Structure 1
Amino acid sequence: MYASNEANGNTSDRELHLTRLFNAPRELVYQAWTDPLHLEHWWVPEGFSINSEYISVRPGGSWRFVILGPDGGYYHHEVIFLETVSPDHLVYMHHNHNETDQCTITLLFTAQDKQTRLNMQLLFPTRAARDKVLREHATMESMNQTLDRLESLLTKIIHLHYKLK
């Protein structure tokens, strides 16, 4: 079945999808995905921290960062930006240098009144790679925790913005 899916251009067995509605304008949600001052406050799940080494958000640009895990381990990552269309979408390849995990991530930011719908697609090179990440890294739970942290940051930014007016 996998071979026939691949031959037909069907990648569904290599994908993960997540959708989230944020109570924030899409320009702000997009900025939270591209500004290192924001990224370091929400990019990782609870118990983890992140340190950006370099970021250049443009096609061909990269973001190199280290995640400190609750186990004391350091995990080196790199994002290579493929498409950056503010505030519409981002496409990037995410690579974990400690392992062979890699995937291409597409983020679509859609305005819905004063809210933003984020559609996120992770595309892995193989079904086995997707399944390994799901099995070994609790990927869906981690992504939901991370997006919960993003939602919390966006709420704080919006409240601060209105207090300053």
Structure 2
Amino acid sequence: MSKENVINSTKMNTDECELVITRTFDAPRELVFKVWTDPEHLKHWWGPKGFTIDVTKFDLRPDGVFHYCMQSTNGHEMWGKFVYREIIAPEKIVFINSFSDEEGNTIRAPFSPIWPLEVLNTLTFSENEGKTTITLRGGPINASETERKRFVEEFESMKQGFGETFDQLDDYLNRV
């Protein structure tokens, strides 16, 4: 297991930017894929450290939705959703991630009026000698230049956030 996230960015073209994070887990690919695709597992590790997750909807299929509420220890709630585009078990998950309201409508991020409304993410899962490497590639879609710039400016923050989430995933994989 590697606790170090590998991160880089590349200009895909003049309209897009991409965040890439890679992490290796000491667990077989089928298990790692399962904990990404089963709400009973997701609620135990997804999200920022110190938050609990309430899964309100989970429909794992193209155009299906994972709608959830994250709650901090002081009661602050933040809603989010994935809209799945592609699922190839146990190799790949493609989804659009956004902030949402309680009803599942896409809304602006509570921390920034210029954060992109939608981020397209592609997760790939590869296995080597019983260890699974996840590569997350993500970038804003249907975004203004200002929103794309904001996304790039937050790479370090996203690296930290995904690092904590992946730490929680690693801990969870060691318990299941």
TM-score, normalised to structure 2, is 0.77
Instruction: Provide runs of 4+ in structure 1 moved above 6 Å.
Output: none
Say if 2:84 and 2:95, in contact at 8 Å, map to a contact too. Answer: yes
Q: Is residue 158 of structure 2 the alignment partner of residue 150 of structure 1?
A: no
The code of the aligned residue for 2:61 comes to R
Distance (whole Å) between structure 2 residues aligned to residue 16 and residue 136 of structure 1:
7
What SS does the aligned partner of 2:53 have? strand
Say if 2:19 and 2:155, in contact at 8 Å, map to a contact too. Answer: no
More helix by share: 1
Q: CA deviation at 1:59?
A: 0.9
The code of the aligned residue for 1:145 comes to E
1:5 aligns to what? 13
| Structure with the larger RCO, 1 or 2 (CA within 8 Å, 6+ apart) | 1
Distance (whole Å) between structure 2 residues aligned to residue 136 and residue 24 of structure 1:
27
Q: Is residue 147 of structure 2 the alignment partner of residue 129 of structure 1?
A: yes
Distance (whole Å) between structure 2 residues aligned to residue 39 and residue 114 of structure 1:
21
1:99 aligns to what? 108
Distance (whole Å) between structure 2 residues aligned to residue 123 and residue 30 of structure 1:
22
The code of the aligned residue for 1:110 comes to S
How many residues are treated as equivalent by the alignment? 150
Q: Is residue 108 of structure 2 the alignment partner of residue 89 of structure 1?
A: no
Structure 2: segments with no counterpart, 5+ residues: 1-11, 101-106, 110-116
Structure 1: segments with no counterpart, 5+ residues: 158-165
Equivalent of 2:65 in 54, 62, 65: 62
1:49 aligns to what? 52
The code of the aligned residue for 2:37 comes to T
Distance (whole Å) between structure 2 residues aligned to residue 138 and residue 69 of structure 1:
18
More strand by share: 2
Larger Rg: 1
Say if 2:63 and 2:84, in contact at 8 Å, map to a contact too. Answer: yes
What SS does the aligned partner of 1:144 have? helix
Deviations 1:95-134 (A, max 9, x none): 1024253201100000111011111101113464354355
Distance (whole Å) between structure 2 residues aligned to residue 38 and residue 57 of structure 1:
14
Q: CA deviation at 1:86?
A: 0.5
Distance (whole Å) between structure 1 residues aligned to residue 149 and residue 75 of structure 2:
25
Percent identity at matched positions? 28
The code of the aligned residue for 1:139 comes to M
Distance (whole Å) between structure 2 residues aligned to residue 114 and residue 30 of structure 1:
13
Equivalent of 1:21 in 13, 20, 24: 24
1:160 aligns to what? none
Q: CA deviation at 1:137?
A: 9.3
Please tell me the root mean square deviation across aligned C-alpha atoms, in Å.
Answer: 2.4
